Amino acid sequence: MSQYQWDWLVIFENVTDTDEFYYQWLISGLGWTLLIALSAWVIALILGTIIGTARTLPNKFVAGIATAYVELFRNIPLIVQLFMWFFVLPEMVPTNIGNWMKQDMPHPGIITSIIGLGLFTAARVAEQIRTGILALPRGQKNAGLALGLTLAQTYRHVLLPMAFRVVIPPLTSEFMSIFKNSAVAYSITATELFFQMKQITGDYKPANQIEVVTIVGLIYILVAFSANRIMTFIERRVQVPGYISGGK
């Protein structure tokens, strides 16, 4: 280790035989990481809310389907799911569709990562939403029905608004995790931040792995911290005394 040649400016060097710089690769990778994570979060939040709500419905058939989704997607590792969407699914659909998915679909690694990460995270969000609904006093649901609201209206206007306030702290954790989980997308050729780090340290600058990995690690910390601050701000704005902490 005493012979190690430190070079913290390595990312500002030119990429071999090109006019690009390594920091440009990292910026590009960060952009794709943010796109994958934020797009997947939209999918996860919408789908997770629907599934989590379905798990609390009195209809056992609907609740059973929602439970099966959660158990399936939550218990298969994310990287296995991405491999199934990227490598297996195109072989199982009609040939013309499979060929389009493999050859003509724009940014197949990015799109597959968004969908796969969104579906995986939706199962986790669903559990948070279900827990938030069940944590509410039963009287809130009964009061809504007593006022003449339908069950759907009671969920929309009474239960879900309160449940979201209750589960903002655990949703904060999921929001931060989705940025970290997006690193798995490199395994299906998505050129996000981790992919660029692997490319730089593996093919171009193996002698400066420590510096590049440290810089990328700091970028992930900054992104996760920013996500935490955003969710904390939201938590403070919508807090209901006695239900959530207020985002200390």
Domain that holds residue 227: 10-238
Q: How far lies 81's CA from each of 36, 39, 64, 112, 114, in Å?
A: 16, 17, 22, 10, 12
Closest CA to 155 of 133, 187, 139: 133
Angle formed at CA 83 by CA 67 and CA 193, multiple of 5 degrees: 105
Please give the average pLDDT of every successive group of 10 residues along the chain, which has 248 residues: 78 88 95 97 97 94 96 95 94 91 89 96 96 89 87 91 90 94 93 94 87 95 94 84 52
Instruction: Classify 20 as helix, strand or coil.
Output: coil
Give the domain CATH number at 149.
Answer: 1.10.3720.10
Q: What are phi and psi of 85, to 5 degrees?
A: -65, -40
Residue 137 covered by a domain: yes
pLDDT of residue 244: 52
Residue 135 covered by a domain: yes
Residue 5 covered by a domain: no
| DSSP string computed for 218-230 | HHHHHHHHHHHHH
Distance CA 156, CA 144 (A): 10
pLDDT of residue 207: 85
Residue 202 covered by a domain: yes
pLDDT of residue 2: 59
pLDDT of residue 73: 96
Distance CA 101, CA 99 (A): 5
Distance CA 238, CA 228 (A): 16
Query: What sign has the CA pseudo-torsion 215, 13, 30, 200?
Result: negative
pLDDT of residue 241: 66
pLDDT of residue 147: 87
Partner residues linked to 228 by β-bridges = none
